[in-house]
C-alpha cells in the first residue's frame, strides 16, 4: 500500500457532523418523512398491467395445430414426426416410365 | 475495564428511561454514527435514514447490552449492520450525487479548493465502487481510525479477514486512482 493512497483516503473520508435534524427524526420516527419516495401509481401498476396484457395476448392467439407442414428438409420432417406420432401423409405413387416393357436387367435398374 | 464510567452511568440512566440520558448518549455518538453512514452510503438522506435506524435500534435494545465489549464497539456493530441492511434493501446507493451537488453549490474561491474537492470526490467515488464489506472496513479505518481488532469486532470477523479486506481494497483503489 502506498502512503499516497493512505493519505488520500484519510483526507477524503474525514468524519462529519451530524445534522441537528437527526434528533428530531429519532424522537418522532413515525412522523418524519423518509427519503425514499413512494412510487407513483402509474409505475406501481405498470408491471402487473404489462404481465396481464402479455397473458391475454397469449391466450387470445389462435391455436395453429393443424397448419400445413411443408418442408423438404429431412431433419425438419423427422422432428415433426418425433413430436407427432401419427402423421398423415399423402400416399406416394410410384410411376415407372419406360419405353419398353419393364424387365429386370442385370444391373437391377429400371 | 471494558465500560467507561460515563458510558455505564449513561446506559443505566437510559435503562431507567431518563430522557436526558438518551439525549446525552445521542450527542456522544451522533457524529460517529452519521459519519460512518455518510461515508459508506455516499448520500446524505440515506445516511440520515441509516443513523436514525441505528439510534432507534440502540435505544430499543439497550437492555440487551451486557457490557462484554466496549459500548462504542456495540454502537459500531449496530451502525455497520444498519449500513449493510440498507445496502441489501436498496438496488443501488446513489454514490456521489449529493457530494457533487455540494461541490457545485460551494463557492469556488480558488482553483486549489476546486481541485482538492475534485480529488476527494474521485477518492470517494472509487471507495464507493468497492464491495460493501471492503468499503465498510475502509470507512471504519479511515473515518473512525479504528484498529484492525476494533474493526473485526464491529464487523463480526477476524482481524486477519479485516487485514485481507483492507489489502484488497488498497490494491483496487490504487488501480482506480492511479491517474488522479
- Domains of chain B, with CATH numbers? 5-89 (1.10.1740.10), 97-176 (1.10.10.10)
B62 touching A (Cβ < 8 Å): no
Q: How crowded is residue B180: how many other Cβ atoms within 10 Å of its Cβ? A: 13
A2 touching B (Cβ < 8 Å): yes
Q: How crowded is residue B68: how many other Cβ atoms within 10 Å of its Cβ? A: 9
Q: What angle do CA B68, B70, B75 make, to 5 degrees?
A: 110
Contact B154, B76 (CB under 8 A): yes
Nearest CA in chain A to B60: A26
Rg (CA), chain B: 18
Nearest CA in chain A to B126: A9
Per-residue pLDDT, A77: 80
**Per-residue CA distances from A8 to B8, B65, B170 (Å):** 37, 36, 11
Please list every residue in chain B whose beta carbon sits closer than 8 Å to the beta carbon of residue A10. Answer: 142
Nearest CA in chain B to A11: B120
Per-residue pLDDT of chain A (110 residues; tens, 9 = 90+): 577 788 888 888 999 999 999 999 988 765 454 544 445 556 667 777 888 888 888 888 765 555 566 777 888 888 877 776 555 555 555 555 555 555 555 665 55
Per-residue pLDDT, A63: 56
A11 touching B (Cβ < 8 Å): yes
Per-residue pLDDT, B68: 78
**Interface mutation target, options B30, B79, B179, chain A, most CBs of A under 10 Å:** B30
Helix (H, G, I), strand (E, B) or coil at B9: helix
Please list every residue in chain B whose beta carbon sits closer than 8 Å to the beta carbon of residue A36. Answer: 49
What does pTM read for this prediction? 0.63
Element holding B164 (H helix, E strand):
helix B159-176
Per-residue pLDDT, A37: 46
Who among A2, A10, A36 is closest to B142 (CB)? A10
Interface contact flag, B124 A14, Cβ < 8 Å: no
> Residue holding cell 457533487?
B100
Interface contact flag, A29 B52, Cβ < 8 Å: yes
Who among B46, B49, B170 is closest to A5 (CB)? B170
Residue B3 distance to chain A (closest CA, Å): 24
Interface size A-B, in CB pairs within 8 Å, comes to 83
Per-residue pLDDT, B1: 39
Q: CA quadruple B169, B31, B22, B146: dihedral positive or negative?
A: positive
> Residue holding cell 441489501?
B88
**Interface pTM (ipTM) of the complex?**
0.73
Query: Which residue stretches of chain B have pLDDT < 70?
Result: 1-5, 90-116, 179-180
**C-alpha–C-alpha distance, residues B10 and A6, integer Å:** 36
Interface contact flag, B30 A22, Cβ < 8 Å: yes
**Per-residue CA distances from B22 to A29, B25, B26 (Å):** 15, 5, 6
Contact B116, B106 (CB under 8 A): no
Amino acid at each position: 500500500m502506498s502512503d499516497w493512497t493512505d493519505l488520500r483516503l484519510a483526507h477524503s473520508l474525514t468524519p462529519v457532523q451530524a445534522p441537528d435534524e437527526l434528533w428530531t427524526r429519532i424522537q418522532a420516527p413515525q412522523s418524519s418523512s423518509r427519503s425514499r419516495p413512494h412510487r407513483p401509481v402509474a409505475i406501481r401498476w405498470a408491471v402487473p398491467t404489462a404481465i396481464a396484457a402479455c397473458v391475454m395476448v397469449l391466450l387470445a392467439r389462435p391455436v395453429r395445430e393443424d397448419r400445413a407442414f411443408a418442408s423438404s428438409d429431412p431433419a425438419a420432417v423427422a422432428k415433426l414426426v418425433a413430436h407427432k406420432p401419427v402423421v398423415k401423409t399423402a400416399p406416394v405413387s410410384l410411376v415407372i416410365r419406360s419405353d419398353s416393357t419393364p424387365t429386370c436387367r442385370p444391373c437391377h435398374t429400371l | 475495564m471494558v465500560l467507561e464510567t460515563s458510558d455505564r452511568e449513561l446506559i443505566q440512566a437510559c435503562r431507567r428511561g431518563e430522557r436526558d440520558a438518551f439525549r446525552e448518549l445521542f450527542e456522544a455518538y451522533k457524529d460517529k454514527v452519521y459519519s460512518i453512514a455518510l461515508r459508506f452510503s455516499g448520500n446524505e438522506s440515506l445516511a440520515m435514514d441509516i443513523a436514525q435506524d441505528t439510534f432507534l435500534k440502540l435505544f430499543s435494545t439497550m437492555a440487551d447490552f451486557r457490557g462484554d465489549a466496549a459500548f462504542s464497539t456495540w454502537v459500531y456493530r449496530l451502525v455497520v449492520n444498519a449500513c449493510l441492511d440498507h445496502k441489501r434493501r436498496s438496488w443501488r446507493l446513489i454514490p456521489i450525487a449529493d457530494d457533487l451537488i455540494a461541490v457545485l453549490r460551494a463557492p469556488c474561491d480558488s482553483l486549489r479548493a476546486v481541485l482538492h474537492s475534485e480529488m476527494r470526490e474521485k477518492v470517494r467515488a472509487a471507495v464507493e465502487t468497492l464491495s460493501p464489506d471492503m468499503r465498510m472496513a475502509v470507512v471504519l479505518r479511515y473515518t473512525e481510525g479504528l484498529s484492525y481488532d476494533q474493526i473485526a469486532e464491529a464487523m463480526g470477523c477476524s482481524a486477519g479477514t479485516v487485514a485481507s479486506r483492507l489489502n484488497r481494497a488498497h490494491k483496487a483503489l490504487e488501480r482506480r486512482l492511479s491517474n488522479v
